[in-house]
Amino acid sequence: MSRHGRKRTRPAALVPGTVRVISVRMDYWPASSISVGAMLDVPGQAYVSRYAVGRDYHKVLRRRLRRLAKAIEEHIGQFGYRVFVDSAPVLEKPLAQKAGLGWIGKHTNLIHPKAGSWFFLGELYTDIPLPVDEPIEDRCGSCTACIEVCPTRAIVAPYVLDARRCISYLTIELRGKNSRGPQNQYWEPDIRLRRLPADMPVEQIRTAE
């Protein structure tokens, strides 16, 4: 984190000429998904997070962002841009929060008023001086549901996540026997997302891929 601190906090240091960041989200909830609760009740069967079920989201969202850039070019001509999807030193959640895509919840994920946290984030760094959107205020209030249901107690305080306890982080960073979560869980965030009030009304959200 410290190695790229300046590039994380100053987009123009990462991509010279950048004056705006277009932040986007892509919903996910594969149609083939079954109940999280039903799966977790079968200890002998592994449960993989919904975001890992479909096609590689990096490729899908990156392709869509490039299409967006081409569409913009058709209207204004060539412009400078660079696409990012969960890559490079980019502070995706703070950027999305400032762009009005949601607020950062106590579980440290972004929460959209209608889509909950069931989405991916992507960015288009650009040299176009676009108008800016207003951020959404924090709506978590006194709710602590995400903290209470986290199986490894990785949320050590509101808005503070200890990555050393996080199943998702360990699964990716520690390849081997210690990367498995409690019982049958891999890439665990679905558990806490399913229990959050803001994430309840998203049963019909789907992605095209």
Give the ranges where the chain is alpha helix by DSSP (H). 5-9, 11-14, 36-40, 57-76, 92-98, 145-149, 167-173, 190-194
Is residue 199 part of the annotated active site? The answer reads no
Catalytic residue among 27, 86, 127, 138: 86
Residue type present at position 61: L
Residues 7-23: b if buried by 16+ CB within 10 A, e if exposed: bbeebeebbeebebbbb
Other C-beta atoms closer than 10 Å to the C-beta of 167 total: 22
The residue assigned the tokens 């960015």 is 123
Other C-beta atoms closer than 10 Å to the C-beta of 81 total: 22
Residues 6+ apart with CB under 8 A from 161: 107, 108, 154, 155
Residues 45-57: b if buried by 16+ CB within 10 A, e if exposed: eebebbbeebeeb
Write down the number of H helices and E strands in the chain.
Answer: 8, 9
The residues carrying an active-site annotation are: 86
